[in-house]
A = this chain, B = another copy of it.
Amino acid sequence: MVNTMLDTVAMQELPQIGAEPRERADAARNREKVLCAAARLFAERGVELVSMDDVAAAAGVGKGTLFRRFGDRAGLARAVLDESERAFQDDLLRGPPPLGPGAPAAERIVAFGAGVLDQLENQHELLFAAESGSPCARFTHSVYAAHRAHLYLLLGEAVPDADVEYLVDVLLNSLSADFFIYTRHIRGLSLAEAKAGFAHLVDRILDA
Protein backbone atom coordinates (compact mmCIF):
# COMPACT_ATOMS: atom_id res chain seq x y z
CA MET A 1 0.00 0.00 0.00
CA VAL A 2 1.13 3.51 -0.76
CA ASN A 3 1.95 5.97 1.95
CA THR A 4 -0.18 8.86 0.75
CA MET A 5 -0.01 12.42 1.85
CA LEU A 6 -3.07 12.03 4.02
CA ASP A 7 -1.67 8.92 5.67
CA THR A 8 1.41 10.86 6.59
CA VAL A 9 -0.63 13.67 8.03
CA ALA A 10 -2.70 11.27 10.04
CA MET A 11 0.34 9.43 11.28
CA GLN A 12 2.17 12.52 12.42
CA GLU A 13 -0.46 14.90 13.68
CA LEU A 14 -3.68 13.21 14.61
CA PRO A 15 -3.55 11.01 17.73
CA GLN A 16 -6.38 8.69 16.73
CA ILE A 17 -8.08 6.10 18.87
CA GLY A 18 -6.75 2.78 17.61
CA ALA A 19 -4.19 4.62 15.54
CA GLU A 20 -0.86 3.67 14.05
CA PRO A 21 1.84 3.42 16.73
CA ARG A 22 4.09 6.42 15.87
CA GLU A 23 6.85 6.39 13.34
CA ARG A 24 10.15 5.02 14.51
CA ALA A 25 13.10 7.43 14.74
CA ASP A 26 15.25 5.70 12.11
CA ALA A 27 12.27 5.54 9.79
CA ALA A 28 11.68 9.27 10.07
CA ARG A 29 15.36 9.97 9.52
CA ASN A 30 15.41 7.77 6.42
CA ARG A 31 12.25 9.34 5.04
CA GLU A 32 13.85 12.73 5.31
CA LYS A 33 17.10 11.51 3.75
CA VAL A 34 15.22 10.00 0.83
CA LEU A 35 13.04 13.04 0.14
CA CYS A 36 16.06 15.25 0.30
CA ALA A 37 18.18 13.13 -2.01
CA ALA A 38 15.30 12.67 -4.45
CA ALA A 39 14.59 16.38 -4.65
CA ARG A 40 18.26 17.10 -5.25
CA LEU A 41 18.68 14.45 -7.94
CA PHE A 42 15.47 15.43 -9.71
CA ALA A 43 16.58 19.04 -9.79
CA GLU A 44 20.09 18.15 -10.97
CA ARG A 45 19.37 15.69 -13.76
CA GLY A 46 15.68 15.89 -14.50
CA VAL A 47 13.15 13.41 -13.20
CA GLU A 48 13.32 11.02 -16.13
CA LEU A 49 17.02 10.44 -15.74
CA VAL A 50 16.90 9.43 -12.08
CA SER A 51 16.29 5.76 -11.30
CA MET A 52 15.00 4.44 -8.02
CA ASP A 53 18.41 2.84 -7.44
CA ASP A 54 19.99 6.25 -7.84
CA VAL A 55 17.71 7.69 -5.19
CA ALA A 56 18.33 4.82 -2.80
CA ALA A 57 22.08 5.08 -3.25
CA ALA A 58 22.17 8.86 -2.89
CA ALA A 59 20.04 8.66 0.23
CA GLY A 60 22.22 5.89 1.64
CA VAL A 61 19.33 3.50 2.18
CA GLY A 62 18.42 0.16 0.68
CA LYS A 63 15.99 -0.27 -2.17
CA GLY A 64 13.59 -2.12 0.06
CA THR A 65 13.35 0.85 2.37
CA LEU A 66 12.62 3.18 -0.48
CA PHE A 67 9.78 1.08 -1.82
CA ARG A 68 8.43 0.23 1.60
CA ARG A 69 7.93 3.91 2.44
CA PHE A 70 6.78 5.28 -0.90
CA GLY A 71 5.18 2.32 -2.60
CA ASP A 72 6.45 3.06 -6.07
CA ARG A 73 8.02 5.71 -8.23
CA ALA A 74 4.79 7.68 -8.49
CA GLY A 75 4.42 7.61 -4.72
CA LEU A 76 7.88 9.05 -4.30
CA ALA A 77 7.08 11.81 -6.76
CA ARG A 78 3.89 12.59 -4.85
CA ALA A 79 5.77 12.73 -1.57
CA VAL A 80 8.29 15.17 -3.02
CA LEU A 81 5.44 17.35 -4.28
CA ASP A 82 3.49 17.09 -1.05
CA GLU A 83 4.58 20.37 0.46
CA SER A 84 3.80 22.62 -2.49
CA GLU A 85 0.51 20.85 -3.07
CA ARG A 86 -0.44 21.40 0.53
CA ALA A 87 0.30 25.11 0.16
CA PHE A 88 -1.84 25.25 -2.97
CA GLN A 89 -4.77 23.57 -1.28
CA ASP A 90 -4.42 25.99 1.58
CA ASP A 91 -4.66 28.89 -0.85
CA LEU A 92 -7.80 27.36 -2.30
CA LEU A 93 -9.45 27.19 1.11
CA ARG A 94 -8.09 30.23 2.88
CA GLY A 95 -6.11 32.35 0.42
CA PRO A 96 -7.17 35.65 -1.17
CA PRO A 97 -9.70 35.67 -4.02
CA PRO A 98 -10.08 34.77 -6.80
CA LEU A 99 -8.21 31.59 -5.87
CA GLY A 100 -9.61 31.55 -2.35
CA PRO A 101 -13.16 32.33 -1.21
CA GLY A 102 -14.77 35.64 -2.02
CA ALA A 103 -14.91 35.70 -5.81
CA PRO A 104 -17.69 34.43 -8.11
CA ALA A 105 -17.53 30.70 -8.81
CA ALA A 106 -16.66 31.19 -12.47
CA GLU A 107 -13.65 33.31 -11.64
CA ARG A 108 -12.52 30.91 -8.96
CA ILE A 109 -12.64 28.03 -11.41
CA VAL A 110 -10.54 29.93 -13.92
CA ALA A 111 -8.11 30.91 -11.15
CA PHE A 112 -7.89 27.29 -10.04
CA GLY A 113 -7.02 26.26 -13.58
CA ALA A 114 -4.40 28.97 -13.84
CA GLY A 115 -2.93 27.84 -10.52
CA VAL A 116 -2.67 24.25 -11.61
CA LEU A 117 -1.14 25.31 -14.91
CA ASP A 118 1.45 27.35 -13.02
CA GLN A 119 2.38 24.30 -11.00
CA LEU A 120 2.63 22.29 -14.20
CA GLU A 121 4.83 24.90 -15.83
CA ASN A 122 7.36 24.55 -13.03
CA GLN A 123 7.07 20.89 -12.13
CA HIS A 124 5.54 19.08 -15.04
CA GLU A 125 8.13 16.32 -14.96
CA LEU A 126 7.45 15.50 -11.33
CA LEU A 127 3.70 15.87 -11.74
CA PHE A 128 3.80 13.61 -14.74
CA ALA A 129 5.73 11.02 -12.78
CA ALA A 130 3.22 11.34 -9.96
CA GLU A 131 0.35 10.64 -12.35
CA SER A 132 2.02 7.75 -14.12
CA GLY A 133 2.17 4.13 -13.18
CA SER A 134 -0.86 1.91 -13.06
CA PRO A 135 -3.82 2.76 -15.27
CA CYS A 136 -5.81 5.66 -13.88
CA ALA A 137 -3.23 6.27 -11.17
CA ARG A 138 -3.88 9.97 -11.23
CA PHE A 139 -7.55 9.59 -10.42
CA THR A 140 -7.12 7.44 -7.37
CA HIS A 141 -5.16 9.67 -5.04
CA SER A 142 -6.01 12.32 -2.52
CA VAL A 143 -4.84 15.24 -4.64
CA TYR A 144 -7.32 14.37 -7.35
CA ALA A 145 -10.05 13.89 -4.76
CA ALA A 146 -9.33 17.28 -3.22
CA HIS A 147 -9.30 19.10 -6.56
CA ARG A 148 -12.44 17.28 -7.55
CA ALA A 149 -14.28 18.27 -4.39
CA HIS A 150 -13.19 21.87 -4.85
CA LEU A 151 -14.35 22.14 -8.45
CA TYR A 152 -17.51 20.20 -7.66
CA LEU A 153 -18.70 22.83 -5.22
CA LEU A 154 -17.78 25.73 -7.48
CA LEU A 155 -19.31 24.22 -10.58
CA GLY A 156 -22.48 23.24 -8.73
CA GLU A 157 -22.76 26.85 -7.70
CA ALA A 158 -22.24 28.17 -11.22
CA VAL A 159 -24.40 25.71 -13.18
CA PRO A 160 -26.75 23.96 -10.74
CA ASP A 161 -28.69 22.09 -13.40
CA ALA A 162 -25.82 20.52 -15.32
CA ASP A 163 -24.17 17.11 -15.11
CA VAL A 164 -21.63 18.53 -12.73
CA GLU A 165 -19.95 15.23 -11.86
CA TYR A 166 -18.92 14.55 -15.42
CA LEU A 167 -17.99 18.14 -16.24
CA VAL A 168 -15.69 18.35 -13.23
CA ASP A 169 -13.79 15.33 -14.43
CA VAL A 170 -13.54 16.79 -17.91
CA LEU A 171 -12.11 20.03 -16.54
CA LEU A 172 -9.59 18.20 -14.38
CA ASN A 173 -8.68 16.03 -17.32
CA SER A 174 -7.76 19.16 -19.26
CA LEU A 175 -5.40 20.01 -16.42
CA SER A 176 -3.54 16.69 -16.40
CA ALA A 177 0.22 16.65 -16.78
CA ASP A 178 -0.12 14.57 -19.92
CA PHE A 179 -2.42 17.08 -21.60
CA PHE A 180 -0.33 20.00 -20.40
CA ILE A 181 2.84 18.61 -21.91
CA TYR A 182 0.99 17.98 -25.15
CA THR A 183 -0.49 21.47 -25.45
CA ARG A 184 2.63 23.18 -24.27
CA HIS A 185 5.37 21.18 -26.00
CA ILE A 186 3.75 19.47 -28.96
CA ARG A 187 1.04 21.99 -29.86
CA GLY A 188 3.47 24.71 -28.84
CA LEU A 189 1.09 26.91 -26.85
CA SER A 190 2.57 29.38 -24.39
CA LEU A 191 1.60 29.18 -20.74
CA ALA A 192 -0.64 32.20 -21.21
CA GLU A 193 -2.33 30.57 -24.19
CA ALA A 194 -2.91 27.40 -22.21
CA LYS A 195 -4.52 29.43 -19.45
CA ALA A 196 -6.63 31.29 -21.99
CA GLY A 197 -7.70 28.02 -23.56
CA PHE A 198 -8.83 26.68 -20.23
CA ALA A 199 -10.62 29.92 -19.39
CA HIS A 200 -12.37 29.79 -22.73
CA LEU A 201 -13.43 26.22 -22.08
CA VAL A 202 -14.84 27.21 -18.71
CA ASP A 203 -16.72 30.11 -20.29
CA ARG A 204 -18.26 27.83 -22.88
CA ILE A 205 -19.29 25.29 -20.29
CA LEU A 206 -20.76 27.83 -17.91
CA ASP A 207 -22.51 30.10 -20.39
CA ALA A 208 -24.52 27.38 -22.09
- Interface residue ranges, A against B (CB under 8 Å): 128, 135-136, 139-140, 162-163, 165-167, 169-170, 173-174, 176, 178-179, 181-183, 185-187, 189, 196-197, 200-201, 203-205, 207-208
Contact = CB atoms under 8 A, between A and B. Distances in A.
20 contacts: A136-B178, A136-B186, A139-B186, A163-B196, A163-B197, A165-B187, A166-B183, A166-B201, A167-B200, A167-B201, A167-B204, A169-B182, A169-B183, A170-B201, A173-B174, A201-B205, A204-B208, A205-B205, A207-B208, A208-B208
Contacts of A128: 135
A166 to B, nearest CB: 4
Contacts of A136: 178, 181-182, 185-186
A139 B182 CA distance: 7
Closest 4 CB pairs of A and B: A166-B197, A204-B208, A207-B208, A139-B182
A149 to B, nearest CB: 14
Nearest to A200: B163
A124 to B, nearest CB: 9
Contact of A178 (B135, B181, B200, B203): B135
A169 B182 CA distance: 9
A167 B207 CA distance: 15
Nearest to A179: B173
Given A135-B181, A204-B204, A170 B162 contact: no
Nearest to A131: B178
